[in-house]
Structure 1
Amino acid sequence: MRLGLGCAQLGNLYRERTDDDARAIVDAAWDAGIRYFDTAPHYGIGLSERRLGAALRDRPRAQYTISTKVGRLLEPTGEGGDDLADGFAVPRTHRRVWDFTRDGVRRSIEDSLARLGLDRVDIALLHDPEHHPEEALRQGFPALAELRAEGVVRAIGAGSKDAAVLTRVVAECTPDVVMVAGRFTLLEQPAAERLLPACAAAGVGVLAAGVFNSGLLAEDRPWDGLPYEYGAAPADLLRRATEIAGVCAEHGTTLPAAAIAFPGRDPAITTVVLGADSAEQVRRNAALFDAPPPDSLWPALTGRGLL
């Protein structure tokens, strides 16, 4: 299993970051041995793609893997204001338009390549296909398959928080990979019921993202105010995370270390994708990835009904 960098923060997720901050995050990831980077037009209305491309421009292209996503086209708008309603501290220069049609997918990839400054991406994913599932599966996926056949992308699939729609993609399409966000974590594992077995049977790789459940599992001791699903964590989940953190401490490890290690215990998971607010957080996450919890932790959590 390998470690990847999720690049929503490069698009000013939740708060502003400078270009230098973004470059430092990518540089720290590279120095830690990370060679897989995941982005999307949605992240900061294209800012994440532009910053990621700039940060990798002088790196050997054959040495890293980039994934981006399709399904939201960026259309100029004269509305003004900011994009904080969608979670990003950037000027609202564009609006997102859902489009999983063949033309929309091809345009999305063309626009992403321009922002990244690349002639190809390695992985292209349908982004949140649950919002328009029939269009995404019947038009969007065949369009990605064409791009794969043309060599514009090497691998294709879908990324979502919805394990059921990802299971449909595996059953009804021919993906190489899927990215499951927040649905196979230390806190909750709905993807284990059908999605992961389906991927294992079909030989589809699984990228595990959102393993901190948007932040609730990112601290040694959870506290009220940490986010879950990009909003305030419900009290019952905060209590559960706190109990898990206590068991982690008993076994000489921490909640974020366990959250990072947990997905890789399933053989279907090929990569754990972690976002980071800073270069220091990248270094912390990489160190935790390299020093997983003791094997005794998992039966202890199971025995207490926490896993």
Structure 2
Amino acid sequence: MQVSRYGFGAAPIGNLFSPVGEDEARAAVDAAYEAGIRLFDTAPHYGLGLSERRLGAALAGRPRDSYVLSTKVGRLIVPADGDGPFGRDEEGFDVPASSRRVWDFSRDGVRRSLEESLERLGLDAADLVLIHDPDDHWEQAVSEAYPALAELRDAGVVKAVGVGMNQTAMLTRFVRETGVDLVMLAGRYTLLDQSGQEELLPLCRERGVSVLAAGVFNSGLLATHDPSGTYDYAPAPGPLLERARRIASVCERHGVTLPQAALAFPLRHPAVASVVVGARSADEVARNAALTARPVPEDLWADLTAEGLIS
């Protein structure tokens, strides 16, 4: 499979942090496709299935072989005890309280999850399927979830299988101990956190496992040229905020903005196949596309390294 250098992360169109209208969600997907993005990533977790339904509807008119679709397993969406109004749930999505998530990395749970995802997406097969956030479920994920996905891969229902997490240690174990085809590494190979290159990325390179880099803005701190906001979904610590400002200052000397550098940085590693960036509107997609189209001088990375700002 070939994936575009940048992918569309569909968590925001699942009403992450605030509601997104149906037309706005579709326009975001359309803008991504028109900008040349051909990797679209979603999950049942994103808006209790809302992201999958919206993404599937927006891609329905596109040739199926023209894009790569990624979804995830590990959380089943089940009816809640009662109906409730819209409101931000405990995971940060503005969705009805009529459904809830249940962790399930069992063989049957994985098969059920994928079947329900395909129904929401309106597809009969998925390209990439990732085991999603198995941090507290290693044993079941490695003994049941991975073998179940490997069977589906052998049967042609899935083209490639992997794991998506916000940490490197367990991803490294998956690469070392299973036959995963890819990993999605969120937030651990960025301008502010290069822990992914210590062991995971070299191992992926050695084993031929592709890496999808996500969370490259570290939840917001690197999203604007004047760093502010959150780091890993919490208020940014002072030292990290100061480091981000120093990186921005070096970028400025080279005519580059901080978010432009943040988007370009992960692709410098040969194990990284694509950078997946979330967007909730066509304007956000256009803004990111404009940033990725601008060249980044090689001298920038040399100066950031020389000043000890990246490893």
The TM-score bracket by the shorter chain reads: over 0.9
Instruction: Tell me which residue corresponds to 1:86.
Output: 91
The 5-angstrom pairing of residues 121-132 of structure 1 reads 121-132=126-137
How many residues align structurally?
Answer: 305
**Aligned-partner Cα distance in 1 for 2:55–2:152:** 22
Kept in 2: contact 1:4–1:35 (CA 8 A):
yes
Instruction: Tell me which residue corresponds to 2:138.
Output: 133
Kept in 2: contact 1:257–1:292 (CA 8 A):
no
Deviations 1:62-89 (A, max 9, x none): 1011000000011100343534321111
**Aligned-partner Cα distance in 2 for 1:221–1:168:** 37
Counterpart secondary structure, 1:86: coil
Deviation, 1:93, is 1.8
Kept in 1: contact 2:17–2:88 (CA 8 A):
no
Question: Which of 171, 182, 207 is 1:177 aligned to?
Answer: 182
Counterpart secondary structure, 1:297: helix
The Cα RMSD (Å) is 1.1
**Aligned-partner Cα distance in 1 for 2:221–2:89:** 20
Instruction: Tell me which residue corresponds to 1:296.
Output: 299
The 5-angstrom pairing of residues 42-81 of structure 1 reads 42-79=45-82, 80-81=84-85
Deviations 1:207-251 (A, max 9, x none): 00111111110101112xx12212222222111111111111111
The one-letter code of the counterpart of 1:249 is E
Q: Unpaired segments of 5 or more residues in structure 2?
A: none
Counterpart secondary structure, 1:142: helix
Counterpart secondary structure, 1:85: coil
**Aligned-partner Cα distance in 2 for 1:164–1:291:** 34
Question: Which of 218, 228, 231 is 1:228 aligned to?
Answer: 231
**Aligned-partner Cα distance in 2 for 1:236–1:131:** 30
Instruction: Tell me which residue corresponds to 1:160.
Output: 165
Deviation, 1:259, is 0.3
Counterpart secondary structure, 1:10: helix
Deviation, 1:130, is 1.3
**Under a length normalisation based on structure 1, what TM-score does the superposition of the two structures give?**
0.97
Kept in 1: contact 2:7–2:41 (CA 8 A):
yes
Give 4+ residue runs of structure 1 displaced > 4 Å after superposition: none
Instruction: Tell me which residue corresponds to 1:14.
Output: 17
The one-letter code of the counterpart of 1:116 is L
**Aligned-partner Cα distance in 1 for 2:199–2:127:** 27
The one-letter code of the counterpart of 2:75 is R
Kept in 2: contact 1:101–1:140 (CA 8 A):
yes
Deviation, 1:150, is 1.1
The one-letter code of the counterpart of 2:43 is A
Kept in 2: contact 1:83–1:92 (CA 8 A):
no
Instruction: Please say which of residues 233-242 and 180-189 is displaced more in the overlay.
Output: 233-242
Kept in 1: contact 2:72–2:130 (CA 8 A):
yes
Instruction: Tell me which residue corresponds to 1:255.
Output: 258
Deviation, 1:303, is 1.3
**Does 2:221 match 1:216?**
yes
Over the matched positions of the two proteins, sequence identity in percent amounts to 59
Deviation, 1:277, is 2.9
The one-letter code of the counterpart of 1:239 is E
Deviation, 1:263, is 0.3
The 5-angstrom pairing of residues 257-276 of structure 1 reads 257-276=260-279
Kept in 2: contact 1:14–1:84 (CA 8 A):
no
The one-letter code of the counterpart of 1:26 is V
Question: Which of 286, 290, 293 is 1:287 aligned to?
Answer: 290
Deviations 1:187-209 (A, max 9, x none): 11111011001101100010001
**Under a length normalisation based on structure 2, what TM-score does the superposition of the two structures give?**
0.96
**Aligned-partner Cα distance in 2 for 1:230–1:17:** 20
Deviations 1:39-68 (A, max 9, x none): 000000100000000000111111011000
Counterpart secondary structure, 2:222: coil
**Aligned-partner Cα distance in 2 for 1:14–1:8:** 10
Counterpart secondary structure, 2:135: helix
